[in-house]
């Protein structure tokens, strides 16, 4: 797993790279829904999941696959985007079989004992783009997980320097 950019489709291929690329968006709230909608409009295959399913369901009419769990959404994708409430929600979503518990909301979706985690279903060459607002503490905590640290390179890309000496992309 690496963080990076995908090349544009070679001239004359009719957008083959875009049409065949599968992207999952975990979190279809105020920011995740427009992101997923724009990806669908650009021709990507999009899989969506939200802990409150009814927030993801309108995207099905636009061509998105609405997954029953984060692991279901992540299965077989090239790119995984997390756009969740906070750091604890990202951690819970990536490591649990179903659902995210948010420090803000205190809610959680049910998880079965044998449910796979997102990390176990994400292909090894997938790109994880963590776009949730998690702050410096959680960014540091999420990056070095043993399950992904050996297969993933990270690069901080803050929207605004926080702290001021943080290197930008």
> What DSSP line would sit under 57-113, residue for residue?
GGGGGGT-EE-SSHHHHHTT-SEEEE--SSHHHHHHHHHSSS----TTT-------T
Residue 31 clears pLDDT 60, i.e. is over it? yes
Residue 146 makes CB contacts below 8 A (sequence gap 6+) with none
Question: What is the predicted pLDDT for the residue at 126?
Answer: 86
Contact present, 67 and 79 (Cβ < 8 Å): no
Average pLDDT of the residues in 157-169: 52
Question: What is the predicted pLDDT for the residue at 124?
Answer: 80
> Rounded to whole angstroms, how far apart are CA atoms 112 and 98?
8
124, 136, 130, 36: CA torsion to nearest 10? 180
Span between the terminal Cα atoms of the chain, in Å:
18
* pLDDT tens-digit series, residues 101-129: 444 444 444 444 567 888 888 888 888 88
> Rounded to whole angstroms, how far apart are CA atoms 141 and 145?
7
Q: List the structure tokens of 124.
A: 């090894």
* pLDDT tens-digit series, residues 50-100: 999 999 999 999 999 999 999 999 999 999 999 999 999 998 898 875 544
Contact present, 25 and 19 (Cβ < 8 Å): no
> Rounded to whole angstroms, how far apart are CA atoms 17 and 3?
17
Q: What share of the chain is helix, strand, coil (3-state, %, to 5)?
A: 35, 10, 55
């Amino acid at each position: 797993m690496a963080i990076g950019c995908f090349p544009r489709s070679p001239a004359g291929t009719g957008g083959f790279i875009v049409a065949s690329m599968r992207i999952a968006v975990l979190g279809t709230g105020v920011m995740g829904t427009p992101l997923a909608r724009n990806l669908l409009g650009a021709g990507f295959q999009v899989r969506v999941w939200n802990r409150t399913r009814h927030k993801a369901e309108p995207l099905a009419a636009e061509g998105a696959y609405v997954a029953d769990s984060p692991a279901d959404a992540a299965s077989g994708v090239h790119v995984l985007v997390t756009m969740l409430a906070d750091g604890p929600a990202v951690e819970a979503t990536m490591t649990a079989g179903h659902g995210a518990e948010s420090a803000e909301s205190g809610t959680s979706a049910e998880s079965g004992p044998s449910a796979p985690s997102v990390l176990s279903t994400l292909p090894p060459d997938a790109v994880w783009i963590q776009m949730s607002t998690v702050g410096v503490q959680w960014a540091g905590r999420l990056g070095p997980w043993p399950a992904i640290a050996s297969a993933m390179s990270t690069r901080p890309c803050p929207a605004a320097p926080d702290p001021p000496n943080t290197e930008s992309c």
